[in-house]
Structure 1
Amino acid sequence: MDLDVTQLRQPAVVAAFRGWNDAGEAATSVVRHLVIGNETHELLVFDEGYYDLRQTRPTLQVRDGKRVLKWPNTCIAVCRTPQRDLLIVIGDEPNFDWVDLCQEILGTVSLCEATPVVVLGSMNSDDPHTRPLPVSVEATNPDLVWGMGAEDSDYQGPTGITGVLSMMAAEAGCEVVSMWVSTPLYSSDSECAKATLALARRVSEVLGVDFDWERLELASARWESQVSHLVDADSDLAQYVRALEADRDESLAPTSGEDLAAQIEQFLREDKES
């Protein structure tokens, strides 16, 4: 069916890319779970000229009993959730012409009058799998992420296509929300379902869209159980995880009244001396 992109319902953007920006496939899995069960229409596919097939190789897949080739690409689609329409951007991180690809994406965003642009990523970290996995949030409009502990990032260093898209979208005048979830460095390369759930919750808070929470929660519990079995079977890894848990618990421990009073006294003393 034809889709009039000028008549979308409160359209917003959710973007994620496979590869360097997608540890544990957590970011792209959020997009996949949005699409599951919702009417989705493909709008554009970008492939030629953006990929080096020696670096981002095509994959063989089996569909309906037949082997097919899936070529690297970036796709823009409309996902019609019950709450609002979403402009979905998902694909493989390109090898060439990042600026051109981002301009193409933002041209469609402008045509659809979609806002905000929510860009997702996931990264490996020293976080234990048995504790809540943190999600860092940054937004050009603080009102969009009120109460989420959002803060300006002081990161300097290499970035991926998600960083380029976020900056170009902000420079084009879009409201941008960047979300990154942490995934345990020692967990397997398969989907980190617990990180997917944590990121999906933040997306839901910002955009007001629902997921199949039961499905996500069951997958998260199953993932945590599987990783725990692997950890228990390796004494060195188990010791490492216990150390991570202790560090996390200490950092989250509430400050006692005595400690707080001592901190205030120290502050006042230093302020008086200065």
Structure 2
Amino acid sequence: MFKKIPLATLITSLVIGLSACSKPEEKKEAPVDTAAAAPATLRIGSDLTYPPYAFFKDDKPQGFDVELLGLLANTNQQKTEFVDTRFASLIPSLNSKKFDVIASSMFITPEREKQVNFIAYAKVGNALIVRTGESFAPKDPKDLCGKTLSILKGSAGIPKLDEVSKNYCAANNKKGITIREFDTSPEALQSLLSKSSDVQFDDTDVAKSFIEKVKGRVMISTTEPIYPQTLGLAVRKDDPATLASLTKALETIKGNQEYQKLLDKYGIKGI
């Protein structure tokens, strides 16, 4: 049955209908697909001069970080490709997409977290390395006033040592710490051996590898780790898929004990 509609009601309905049609659609941002298929090859930036974490042996990458990324990539059914890059250039190179992840015994710091995302995987400390048989044997950074120290360029220890030099040495009328930065840790070690530096600052596990390499010509003078830090794998902030896949893979190898076996092999403390 046909029902007669008043003219006023018809006009009101028409206006409302047109308004609804003319209302612009709200733009919805596409969700980030963190479950996207991983690329066939995982490109890894690493300073391959840094035993026991990453170094060349028989022209092949070796070390803790190398084996760790091998386990993670295998979990994600990927191959690995290592890109040898000096430490200070790792984050700029990652953010310019020269590789997908940094695995190079990198400390997680607030400054670095502003530039990249991290996946924490181990805890380490630093040591002071001196020439064996000499009287200078610093136990603490405060013992370094007036001395020349060699260190890896880009090390997280540099601003901390600068702070000691300015806030402790100068405040106590002592000479500051002269910090000499080198592109690689072996170059910093060579500076110590050649007596161009009085002491070297480096990761404790790296220091132990150096002692073995130079047959005891250097020694660790500190008795406790200096500035303990957490190591992290670094991923670009605009790459949530890689972050998610590596995080999941790390949890997988922790669950099946593969990671613990690797930690035990190198004597490194996991988290």
Q: Could you say whether these structures have the same fold, taking a TM-score greater than 0.5 normalized by the shorter chain as the test? A: no
TM-score of the superposed pair, with normalisation by structure 2: 0.26
Larger Cα-atom Rg: 2
